[in-house]
Chain A
Amino acid sequence: MSFRARHLLGIEHLAPDEITTLLDVADSYAALNRSDTKHATALQGLTQINMFFEASTRTQASFELAGKRLGADVMNMQMQASSLKKGETLIDTALTLNAMHPDLLVVRHSQSGAVSLLAEKVNCAVLNAGDGRHEHPTQALLDALTIRRSKDRLHRLTIAICGDIAHSRVARSNIHLLGKMENRVRLIGPPTLMPSQAAEWGVEVYHDMQAGLKDADVVMMLRLQKERMDGAFIPSEREYFHRYGLDAAKLAHAKDDAIVMHPGPMNRGVEIDGNIADDINRSVIQDQVEMGVAVRMAAMDLLARNLRARRADTSVMV
């Protein structure tokens, strides 16, 4: 067993064996979640606070359920509605919460780096639930678990990530994770949605979807934000779907057993054809949601173990 981190702020600083440990523990929680009694006690007595400075339904629900299944006391705070409107700074919010002695803090924020800034100021374990365009580590972990369970391995796969790479924290975390596990990662998207010098990340960059999908084992679609659809980054929704939307014809370039993934929520008819999303032989989108809860249970369990060990250490020193 090896997972040494104090916080889960990103994939960038995780070692491959830490990722494997997380996924192994998550596998056992996936089994628990399918059983009749979905309860464990790993977080019994601990307090988990979900702070979402950016609106989220799915991720927040997933974290909430994960905490409750492990016996934590879970509180949700809708930050966009509260203190920020009153002009309180992120640091003050963090200090206020810290004084309530939470054990696990789950944070989403619209600014890259905001979650690590907050983590510097609190005593508990912090989980990044998405910061700006930087990282979304539990999403990459749940994607990895879904791939591993579907393909029976998480190495030497060809994985195509398609869509708005430039603004996507999901893409960045996945690029880190899949690279660390020694996969071949391809990025596909129009140049206006591709970060400059993406090729220096150790990935292959394609602007032509057919070429990028050729012989891929996994096709990972990204959501295109509404505000980026008209004119500023791409000419129109329909031109985007024509060139970069995943339909049966484009998917035919991938391997016959290629799986299709999407972090949700989907724009049917923009980045993905509804028929593909619903094809139970290809789409693993529902499995991703299921694995999301398991991965978040695993991450909070492991962080809580480290937290308890650290507290035991310091109490000995005192």
Chain B
Amino acid sequence: MAPLLFQNARLIDPEKGTDAMGSLAVVNGQIVSAMGLDGATVIDCGGACLAPGIVDMGVKVSEPGERHKESFRSAGRAAAAGGVTTMITRPDTLPAIDTPEALEFVRRRANEAAPVNVRPMAALTRGRAGREMAEIGFLMDAGAVAFTDCDSVVQDTKVFSRCMTYAASLGALVVAHPQDPGLSAGAAATSGKFAALKGLPAVSAMAERLGLDRDIAIVEMTGGRYHADQVTTARALRRLDRAKQAGLDVTAGVSIHHLTLNELDVGDYRTFFKVKPPLRSEDDRMATVDAVASGLIDVICSMHTPQDEESKRLPFAEAASGAIGLETLLPAALRLVHAGHIDMPTLWRAMSLNPANRLGLDAGRLSPGAPADLVLFDADAPFVLDRSKLQSKSKNTPFDEAKMQGKLRGTWVAGVPVWPLD
């Protein structure tokens, strides 16, 4: 494969924290110094942004079990089209990915069908039922990068603390969904004026803090490595800050939807805006944006959750939760840049470098030796999103017909172009 030379590019380097014009060379799938490179294929970027590919922590590919909603092929194409070069997949499939054999299936299907890197997470407990520990050691050997029961909270604190203790002994990362299961049972919205007027079953924002408080106490007790999948409220962020100050091995993510939408977007029961946890107040949204800017929140993810029309075209409380996000993560995240809330290197730390570091991956960097997982995009180009044109099998995006800025020009994985398709 001929070396590649990207010229006239606006290089976004989250590791160095820089955003400057320059060029970048790729040889044998790795980024190299551009000095003295001969015979390279030159790509003139025309001033467009070139950044490390997105590492999306928490993608649901509905395979096995619900391939009609999303397969590795369709999710892989959606990822390539969205600048996501590494999908960190969730184990909340049917059945759950809770054995080395199931994980082997995921890896095989991913290799066959997805043009981007796939690194699977595995279930923390069998069947995500919160009773018996999954085979954490075997699953790590088989390639699991983290362990999570996703939105199913391990309610029994004894089980959770044993899982954390065992995982800690292996250095495994546990990803949890901070939420008090009692308070949040049956909820479809965040309590407040809006949910009450619409007559929707709602959960207090306090439930997230309660869940996070419990988890942090167990991290303190067990010394485990912990990542909260989504922290979306101001009051939970204060607890996260305190845990980090105390030196606990705790990080947190947030979905792009909680950074760019609020509870009022639900409007007249629009179920494409039903996500888990439910969208929050504008004050909470701004608090999470500030937390990304300050680095308190480490990771932005798409929380890509495909749902078909049948499971969404129901009364709001009965409709399925979740929104797809692989293809809209980049332009939605650029809203935060265009609004002046964060700068490009900070955004790319949250979308690429931090998740890679947390999961022990080599990605997220532009320095020599790093894998040439790259995304080229025009940050300002405007467009109106048409959900029917998305690559995902499911089209449940809250951004349908939204005005967005930031068009993808190309995606490379290990120096190989994966988007656009020729």
A residues with CB within 8 A of B: 12, 89-91, 109, 111-114, 116-117, 131-135, 166, 169, 172, 195-198, 200-201
23 contacts between A and B (CB under 8 A): A89-B314, A90-B314, A90-B315, A111-B315, A112-B200, A112-B316, A113-B198, A113-B199, A113-B268, A113-B315, A114-B315, A116-B268, A117-B313, A132-B315, A135-B199, A172-B197, A172-B199, A195-B196, A196-B191, A196-B196, A196-B204, A197-B191, A197-B193
CB atoms of B192 and A197 under 8 A apart: yes
CB atoms of A133 and B192 under 8 A apart: no
Q: How far is the CA of A145 from the CA of B155 in the complex (A)?
A: 51
Q: Tell me the minimal C-beta distance from B185 to chain A in angstroms.
A: 13
Closest residue of A by beta carbon distance from B316: A113
Residues from chain B with a CB closer than 8 A to the CB of A201 are 193, 196-197
Q: Which of B301-342 contact A (CB under 8 A)?
A: 310, 313-318
Question: Could you list 10 further interchain pairs (A-B, Cβ under 8 angstroms) beyond the known A132-B315, A196-B191, A197-B192?
Answer: A90-B314, A111-B318, A112-B199, A113-B269, A113-B315, A116-B268, A117-B314, A196-B196, A196-B202, A201-B196
CB atoms of A112 and B198 under 8 A apart: yes
Q: How far is the CA of A117 from the CA of B271 in the complex (A)?
A: 10
CB atoms of B196 and A112 under 8 A apart: no
Q: How far is the CA of A203 from the CA of B394 in the complex (A)?
A: 43
B residues with CB within 8 A of A: 191-193, 196-200, 202, 204, 268-269, 310, 313-318
Which of A12, A91, A111, A197 has most chain B Cβ within 10 Å? A111
Q: Tell me the minimal C-beta distance from A262 to chain B in angstroms.
A: 21
CB atoms of A109 and B315 under 8 A apart: yes
Closest residue of B by beta carbon distance from A111: B315
CB within 8 A of B198: which of A89, A109, A134, A166? A134
CB atoms of A169 and B199 under 8 A apart: yes
CB atoms of B199 and A91 under 8 A apart: no
Q: How far is the CA of A141 from the CA of B363 in the complex (A)?
A: 63
Residues from chain A with a CB closer than 8 A to the CB of B193 are 197, 200-201
Residues from chain B with a CB closer than 8 A to the CB of A135 are 199
Residues from chain B with a CB closer than 8 A to the CB of A200 are 193
Closest residue of A by beta carbon distance from B204: A196
CB within 8 A of B315: which of A117, A195, A196? A117
Residues from chain A with a CB closer than 8 A to the CB of B198 are 112-113, 134
Q: How far is the CA of A113 from the CA of B194 in the complex (A)?
A: 13
CB within 8 A of A111: which of B196, B202, B268, B316? B316
Closest residue of B by beta carbon distance from A115: B315
Residues from chain A with a CB closer than 8 A to the CB of B268 are 113, 116
Residues from chain B with a CB closer than 8 A to the CB of A109 are 315
Q: Closest 5 A-B residue pairs measured CB to CB?
A: A113-B269, A111-B315, A133-B199, A134-B199, A195-B196
CB atoms of B313 and A89 under 8 A apart: yes
Q: How far is the CA of A113 from the CA of B269 in the complex (A)?
A: 6
Closest residue of B by beta carbon distance from A132: B199
Residues from chain B with a CB closer than 8 A to the CB of A132 are 199, 315, 317
CB atoms of B199 and A196 under 8 A apart: no
Which of B192, B193, B199, B314 has most chain A Cβ within 10 Å? B199
Residues from chain A with a CB closer than 8 A to the CB of B310 are 89
Residues from chain B with a CB closer than 8 A to the CB of A90 are 314-315
Which of A91, A112, A116, A195 has most chain B Cβ within 10 Å? A112
